[in-house]
């Protein structure tokens, strides 16, 4: 990290010798301030995007129930989120939940380097969707700006082939929000890349839980299909203290508990 970057993040570290006690307290204060900011960004996001997140979960659950697969993609740190989401569905952390087909398009370095070298970096995901995607599958992409050209190319190809599209973005959502290509675009409205990525992690963990809950409800309903979308969320001011359970339509979390009663609470894990 450059001295300028370090100075921006921790301005109290520059300027020569300081009292060690005061410096240690300044560091603790900085940690607390960053934690408060992270929590505030997440709270704002979930207060305003709970309904959109439920809708995205319904789309993905419907796709899985019909035999569809999930493809994930992203660049840099967002490629790690793409990998994380795919692993969560392939190897559920909660004992008793089924593995679901999810493929991370960032994994194959031979493929991405070949396409990047021969065709262009903007086609590294689109070419894989062209090869593997089919109608009824879902493509999920992560971009802190919403403006990654290779994600947009893949979303365009996905729409041509009949895939559903879910985006995780930041800022104003960029092209992902403005293009009209995506079925769902979950935007974290902040310019801080760190806060966007932190909120994306919380978002797709909740998405994962919602999808499994909806699928459990579908199994319990003997193929009757999903219930209608829940009633519209109340105004923002009435939702400030809502807990995560309100993200799940009434009755569905109870069905999920019954489906997994032999394994205990959600935190029963198979991996660290």
Q: Report the CATH number that the domain containing residue 254 is assigned in CATH.
A: 3.40.50.10490
Mean pLDDT of 63-89: 98
Domain count for the chain, please give it: 1
> Residue 24, Cα to own-chain centre: how many angstroms?
35
18: tokens are 């300081």
Question: Residue 99: pLDDT above 70?
Answer: yes
Nearest to 144 by CA among 200, 210, 91, 98: 200
Q: Is residue 152 part of a domain?
A: yes
Q: 158-207, pLDDT tens digit by residue?
A: 999 999 999 999 999 999 999 999 999 999 999 999 999 999 999 999 99
Residue 21 lies in a domain: no
Residues in Cβ contact with 214 at an 8 Å cutoff, skipping those fewer than 6 apart: 57, 58, 61, 226, 252
* 233: in domain: no
Residue 235 lies in a domain: no
Task: Tell how far CA 234 is from the center of its chain.
Answer: 24
145 within domain boundaries: yes
Which distant-in-sequence residues (6+ apart) come within 8 Å of 222 by Cβ? Answer: none
For residue 189, give the nearest of 211, 205, 173, 168 by alpha carbon: 173
Phi and psi, residue 168, nearest 5°: -120, 115
> For residue 5, what pLDDT is reported?
64
Give the pLDDT confidence score for residue 167 in this predicted structure.
99
Q: In 3D, which of 129, 134, 133, 111 has the Cα closest to residue 121? A: 111
Residue 27 belongs to some domain of the structure: no
């Amino acid at each position: 990290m450059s001295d300028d970057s370090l100075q921006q993040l921790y301005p109290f570290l520059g300027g020569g010798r300081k009292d060690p006690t005061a410096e240690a307290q300044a560091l603790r204060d900085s940690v607390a301030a960053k934690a408060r900011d992270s929590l505030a960004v997440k709270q704002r996001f979930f207060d305003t995007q709970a309904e959109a997140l439920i809708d995205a979960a319904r789309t993905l659950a419907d796709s899985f129930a019909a035999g569809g697969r999930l493809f994930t993609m992203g660049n840099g740190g967002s490629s790690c989120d793409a990998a994380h989401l795919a692993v969560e569905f392939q190897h559920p952390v909660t004992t008793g939940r089924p593995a679901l087909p999810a493929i991370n398009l960032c994994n194959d370095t031979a493929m991405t380097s070949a396409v990047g070298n021969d065709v262009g970096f903007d086609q590294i995901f689109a070419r894989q969707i062209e090869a593997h995607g089919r109608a009824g599958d879902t493509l999920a992409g992560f971009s802190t700006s919403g403006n990654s050209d290779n994600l947009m190319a893949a979303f365009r190809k996905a729409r041509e082939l009949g895939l559903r599209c879910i985006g995780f973005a930041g800022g104003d959502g960029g092209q992902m929000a403005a293009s009209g290509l995506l079925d769902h675009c979950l935007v974290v409205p902040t310019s801080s890349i760190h806060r966007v990525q932190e909120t994306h992690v919380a978002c797709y963990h909740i998405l994962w839980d919602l999808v499994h809950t909806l699928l459990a409800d579908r199994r319990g309903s003997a193929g009757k299909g999903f219930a209608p979308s829940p009633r519209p969320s109340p105004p923002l001011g009435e939702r400030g203290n809502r807990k995560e359970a309100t993200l799940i339509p009434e009755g569905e979390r109870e069905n999920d508990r019954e489906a997994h009663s032999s394994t205990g609470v959600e935190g029963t894990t198979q991996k660290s």
